[in-house]
Structure 1
Amino acid sequence: MKNIENKVVIITGASSGIGEETAKLLAENGAKVVLSARREDRLKKLADEIGENAVYLKSDVANPDDMKALVSFAKEKFGKVDVLFANAGIMPGSSVSALRVDDWMDMIDINIKGVLHSMAAVLPDFLAQKGGHVIVTSSVAGTRVIPGNAVYSGTKHFVRVFLDAFRTESVQEGTRIRTTTIYPGAVKTELLNILPPSEEKEGWEEYYRQNGLDASSIANAVLYAVSQPDNVDVSDMIIRPTGEV
């Protein structure tokens, strides 16, 4: 596909779901993908399936040194980085009154700091080459208030505001770095697995089974954004089931 061939794309959260499907689709269209996640066995299996256009490095977005190593690894293997898809995220949802503070901190570490660490690692190269593309997975929870999932929603609002501010700075500074924020609705991934057993979890799981999109729907959106001409910035994409409120 035009403007995809030989692009080098780092994908965090690549061991399952949206990250996994995006890696497959981009590689099918000629991109070279650099896979990052904490589950090395899953990464190896995916890289073996994709073939020579994929490499992987076990890494944690919450660790800034891991993200620096990931960018260095991508450059060592493929010579450059064109796109960062900061996709890693968790959703251990609960009401604020439940005081699951450890879960709050985990979401801040991965959903917020993970984006910052991965961007900080890749931006020196994007700035030097006067170009690049940062894609981040937010959520429809980043566009509205979600009672019962306030901290997760807050982390995804951060992603929305941060990337929009960065896009504006990039225009003002003339760096030609494109940005895309993707807001998925219900998608059939492992995101709900982290929730503790409850009737509420069972209800969400049934809703996702009945209505959730396949992760390939989000992968198609990433492919569309990356494939646009360099002077086209697809800034925001909301993708949700037709029956989702």
Structure 2
Amino acid sequence: MTEDFLTGVRETGLFDRLSVGVQSFDDSMLRKLNRRHSAAMAADAVRRAEMHGFVRLSVDLIYGLPGQGVTEWARELKEVERLNRSLLQPVEHLSCYALTVEPGTMLERQIESGRSEAPDEEVQVAQYGLLQRWIADNGYSQYEVSNYCRNGQRALHNCRYWNRTPYLGLGAAAHSFDGTRRRWNVADVARYTATATDGEVEHEEETLTQRDAYNEYVMTALRTTEGIVKEMVPPPYRTHLERAAKRYLHNGLLTDTGRCLKPTADGMLQADGMAAALFG
């Protein structure tokens, strides 16, 4: 993030929150991720953003990286503490993602060829547990599997995705949702720019069925601490949901508040598997 970029974004008057993709404060891990920045550059970017008036700052980190055990992850969290001490006020938001290996990526090829280790699920669970203890000790609260904030400062745009609130995406590859239809702009910047000047951006779109809407809501809601709000479930699927949720209520992965089906701490770790079982 250059000085010109930070100044220009602030001068628009449109943005008061900035998310910085640090990913790791360990240079060896950044090299494994094929990132161009260093740990020092990332920390400096956060500090410079604050100096330019961005008081609402978020930092992204990844755990479960090849060669990263619980001890190494603990050092990453210590670096967050160190960064916070260097700021006028602590970073208000953290996104901490467990590494997943996406098809067709360099990491997948490295794992297949034996040049890199595959993520260890048991290590990731232990790292997640350490993260839960750390946030409790450092003034953050969890509101989604991977997202944590101080003083209730949640990422509002993410919450819109999870509760199916309509949103508008601007720019190449941006996604929009009007409650029924989802559209996504062409990813190529040159093509996006060329069509945008004509008044109709090149895009694709899909119309969601009621079943699609239900399944998507269950998938995203189970990853949040609030869980599934029953009145948000389409009426034809409410009986199915109540029946399918019984075994998870029985084994302690869900709790029923009357208004919501909320994942427990253990349930958060199994949110994706539960969602698949609750799909319509």
Under a length normalisation based on structure 2, what TM-score does the superposition of the two structures give? Answer: 0.33
Higher relative contact order (CA 8 A, sep 6+): 1
Larger helix percent: 1
User: Could you say which structure has the larger radius of gyration?
Assistant: 2
